[in-house]
Structure 1
């Protein structure tokens, strides 16, 4: 935590125990002027052990350098008590706005498609209880970047109803191989570990939304039928159910990039 020296109380120079105890070399003693001075930017995340060594209670701390500056100006007489309070209130408002902005950014990031690897594929895709949209892409793929904003937008629109994930085919070749991905962008929709639809190529927003809605309608119909069936108690020996939601045959929507002829990395 950053600290400052209240020279009206400081009477320990040139033997300042607090300066000797400072692990970050932020406190210094000017033996000629008999004055202790501090470099608060060096304090960092130090828990402030120097405060325990200051017998004169001349060291003051603040949560941030900005607050420390207000405190210093108040001690130096540059700000009166009212002005210092106003400055602190203004700082608090700025901190609230910053925290709110950070929260919004965090929420926006949480709504974006999840990067899937071999380590989290089972948890994010296979074990998902809702349909999963898998976007197979690569950094060098222009059509992939063309459709990415559309996929990001749908990730927000279908939040809670369909999960959106991305697989980098260069980094996750094992996953791409298991799905026999030959060209990108390729988008696959999985439900309960089964293929529900496949879209190859950079399609427009309306086309992609139509495909998503078709799968969602099929899933809703399937779940409604499952809800009407008599529930069966689960057991370790019970085989998986064979009845699955209707599958949509894969279709090539537009020309796409062949992975076998991809451009070299730069």
Structure 2
């Protein structure tokens, strides 16, 4: 495990929009060089976390530390954020704007990522998936140390999604870039991230390293009358039907003995268990 300082630390952060709480005493850390997913339903607080990390929002309470310090003139050039594009500009003008605004801009990298986009087309006329690809090119053209992406895969078709995932994984591997992306589509996570933060109604339900979490949980199936066998176990979530139950359970070093059926969960099953359960 890396001993490097976390790239992002969210410490006891709370924030409200009027009467609506967006984040409630949230704390977690994102390891440097990781690809970390913020997962949750719409309105869970994912975008609020990303905006706070990008310096676009000051939380009501708590602190957000990026790349070893607060968001300021030192850290700003090292952070990439997929923000809104100017619809009146063309693709080529958008890329040139990136060069003017960012001292470390890598125009060749941005051009490579936008190679098949129509340079004279205005951003406002592009299909949503094409705009998403341009936004990713703008974020990566900055060559950031910390890349923040809000639902980067949602508007992409399956082929473009696979290409975007390949780009993100390559960026993390080649440059050690820390990637933090939000999504409510759990299926997007497989093979993409090595850490997951599960947000639900502004609360952190889990913040885990994927491989360790999958090894440390089991899905348990059994008849209704056998549920008592889980007494004392750390049950994350239980679903019942007419004949039995399925539970997501935290385990220790060994799976408990007994007549229940124990299975390794998928990442999707793990995340959905925390989203449906209440810890």
The alignment's TM-score, normalised by the length of structure 1, stands at 0.23
**Bigger proportion of residues as strand:** 2
Greater fraction helix? 1
